[in-house]
Amino acid sequence: MSSWGRVVMDVPDWIDDMASPGVSFEPKDRMPFVIELARRNVVEQTGGPFGAAIFESVTGNLVAPGVNRVVPTAISFAHAETTAIGLANQRLGVFDLGGDGLPAMELVASTEPCALCMGATVWSGVRKLVTGARDEDARSIGFDEGPKVADWQDALRSRGIAVEVDVMREEAAAVLDMYAVSGALIYNGRSDA
């Protein structure tokens, strides 16, 4: 290891209570799982109110879960999506989840992607993105989604990534509201922004 150290992104141990490697989810059960990740992350005070997961689209095999870990890890880009993508990359040993010989994978996220996670979705190689709460739901409690192209759904579709939004939006937004009521830190990169 160089003298500059390493960046270590992780997920909380309580995720093992919810799902271990080898578990599969029917399509209808994927968003509820991701919303529960977000909810439990708030309850356990292990990060922000966001959950995400990568599944094999056909089998439903859970490739990797993720939750927001910005505050506990002090990594500014440790969002739920990047955490799930990074874990999937390293578990499979491939930087391209859409590469030859791999089953099609989808990213399911409790909220529409911020500017960072939009880019991360493109580079991940997933073939589909499914989201719950909208950008405006995140903004309504003080989170900033960042400078993202206005036509982000079309931008993803034009790159071969299917997009499905508003899946269980109310249930997903309820976790955001719960977090806001809890008085936890709404961070936005700059604490004085």
CB environment 146-182: b (16+ within 10 A), e (fewer): eebeeebbeebeeeebebeeebbbebbbbbbebbbee
Distance between CA 148 and CA 6 in Å, rounded? 29
Contact set for a second copy, span 15-74 (CB under 8 A): 15-16, 20-21, 64-65, 70-71, 73-74
Binding a second copy (rule: CB under 8 A), the pick from 61, 141, 148, 162 is 148
Put the strands of the sheet holding 62-67 in their side by side order.
62-67, 51-56, 105-111, 128-133, 162-164
Decide if residue 122 touches a second copy (CB under 8 A).
yes
Which residue of 24, 45, 59, 90 would you call a contact of a second copy, by CB under 8 A?
Answer: 90
In the complex with a second copy, the residue whose CB is nearer, 54 or 174, is 54
Taking CB under 8 A as the rule, does residue 190 contact a second copy?
Answer: yes
Q: Which stretch binds a second copy (CB under 8 A): 10-18, 32-40, 128-136, 170-178?
A: 10-18
The CB density around residue 80, as the number of other CB atoms within 10 Å, is 31
SS3 call for 82: helix
Q: Which residues of this protein are in contact with a second copy, per CB under 8 A?
A: 1-13, 15-16, 20-21, 64-65, 70-71, 73-77, 82-83, 85-87, 89-100, 114-120, 122-125, 146-149, 152, 155-156, 159-160, 187-193
